[in-house]
Amino acid sequence: MTRVLPVLMGLALVCTVLGPLRSDLPSWAWSWWLLAAVVALRVGPRTPLPVWTHRMGPAVAALLLACLIDAALCLWHGGDWDILRQDGKVLLALPVAWAVWGAVAVHGARGGAGGVASPAALREALGWAIGLQMGVAAAVAICWPRAWLPATPIPWATAVAMGMAVLAPMVAAPTHQGPDSRAWRFGLGLAVLAGVVAVVLSRSRAAWVILPWLGVLGVVFARQRISAAVAVAAVAVAGLGTGLWYDSLQPVQVERGMRLLDLVHELAQLGQPDAATSLGSRIVLWEAAWSSLWSHPWTGIGVSERIALVQQVLPPEQLPDVAPLVHVHHQFLNQAVDHGLPGLLASLLCAAAPFALAWRAAPGVMRWQCLGVGTVHVVGLMFNANMTHGTYAVNYALTLMAILWIQASTDTGQSPDA
């Protein structure tokens, strides 16, 4: 069994790297990690990791409660179980991380008995996998139009942004908190830049929250924060100016260039929401969802009735790019419509998991990784029903697993008793 574990982990890492190419590859990665966890539980004696499991406790409790709420309301409505499947993947991410790490820590301490990788090797493999995934995502965004992305643009781009949120603190942190090797930091930095290219070219504006987040990290970890803040502000102004200038050169259409100029025009028309625009359609849907919530606050109306509501508010012939998605473009409100206030609570609990990890993390890289993933996740949920996409849910789960593995490896290196 010990020889099977590294094979399963290798397959999972390969699928993680290639995830941006196809919408089903992240699910394959998740399947291999699950099998690796099952094998890891049978490998042999475990080593207790009280500090690590203590960190996971609040996050596991939040995710478990979210799944229980969703299960109860799915039974009540007898409807679609998709949201429970996605929540379940995120819930299992933390026990899977614990199981695989236990096997790696035990056998790595014995000199890699049975071919199981050492903790440092797993940490490096994760860094390479996520970094190469950023390169693959950049290639996809450069070569394929936005409409041809393997998954719908916002979940695809936000999943990439969460990978950037894991890597960026390792690049920006002081030497004693991050990788010691300059070459390793340089490679991770290139991966983050590749992720920036992918997210920007996706033209998914919700995922762009990672760009100011990178600026925040640059200031937080800088030796001279005032100078760093000025530099970040200058880069931000230059980037926005360049984007608006580029958009102004494009023909007038529904979506032009980087969609920045369209956003400015839509914001100027907020007083008169129009379903013929991206932001206008969202406002119309959000208003309908809000009214539906308070008409059925305790159990919601279920998935089938929500689909009918969306098609009534936005007939497919009126806005063909939005109506067929049959959700309200807001995960929290989508859950509220389906399952009422309990569903809204479940969605909030699922979003709280990385912040719960950050709360129990020591100051440094892990805390900023958790906060970054949590921020990207929450913003993504506010502009799309992301957790209904398997690609997004799997990448959310994988980033939480990676954070725990990377930090546990650091703890092991610094303090064998951790």
Each as own residue / partner, the long-range contacts of residues 32-38 (CB below 8 Å, 24 or more positions apart, any chain) are 32/8, 33/8, 33/9, 33/96, 33/100, 33/398, 33/401, 34/92, 34/96, 35/8, 36/5, 36/8, 36/9, 36/12, 36/96, 36/100, 37/95, 37/96, 37/99, 37/100, 38/99
CA–CA separation, 87 and 226 (whole Å) = 41
State residue 417's pLDDT score: 34
Residues 6+ apart with CB under 8 A from 188: 127, 131, 167, 170, 171, 179
Of 203-207, 315-319, 358-362, which one has max mean pLDDT? 203-207
Residue with the bigger pLDDT between 117 and 96: it is: 96
Res 342: pLDDT: 94
Residue 247 has pLDDT above 80, yes or no: no
Q: Is the pLDDT of residue 196 over 50?
A: yes
Mean pLDDT over the full length of the chain: 83
| pLDDT band for position 11 (cuts 50, 70, 90) | very high
- Whether residue 92 is predicted with pLDDT greater than 70 in this model: the reply is yes
Do residues 10 and 73 make contact, with C-beta atoms less than 8 angstroms apart?
no
Could you give the angle at which helices 331-360 and 278-295 cross, rounded to 10 degrees? 90
As a whole number, mean pLDDT of residues 399-415 equals 74
pLDDT for position 385: 80
Q: What is the pLDDT of residue 326?
A: 77
Residue range 113-129: mean pLDDT, rounded: 72
* Mean local confidence (pLDDT), 355-380: 90
pLDDT computed for residue 48 by the predictor: 47
What confidence score (pLDDT) does residue 245 get?
A: 83
- Percentage of the residues of the chain whose pLDDT score is greater than 90: 33
Length of the chain: 418
pLDDT band at residue 5, thresholds of 50, 70 and 90?
Answer: confident
What stretches of 152-301 show up as alpha helix (H) in DSSP? 153-172, 182-202, 210-220, 225-248, 260-268, 278-295
List the single range of 214-218, 227-231, 252-256, 307-311 with lowest mean pLDDT. 252-256
Check pLDDT > 60 for residue 114.
no
Q: Residue 348: what residue type?
A: L
Question: How many Cα atoms are found within 13 Å in the side-chain-facing hemisphere of 133?
Answer: 32
Q: How confident is the model at residue 318 (pLDDT cuts 50, 70, 90)?
A: low
- Average pLDDT on 217-242 reads 90
What is the CB neighbour count within 10 angstroms for residue 98? Answer: 22
What pLDDT, on a 0 to 100 scale, did the predictor assign at position 176?
A: 60
Per-residue pLDDT reduced to its tens digit, 130-156: 999 999 999 999 998 887 888 788 889
Q: Is the pLDDT of residue 26 over 70?
A: yes
Q: What is the pTM of this model?
A: 0.89
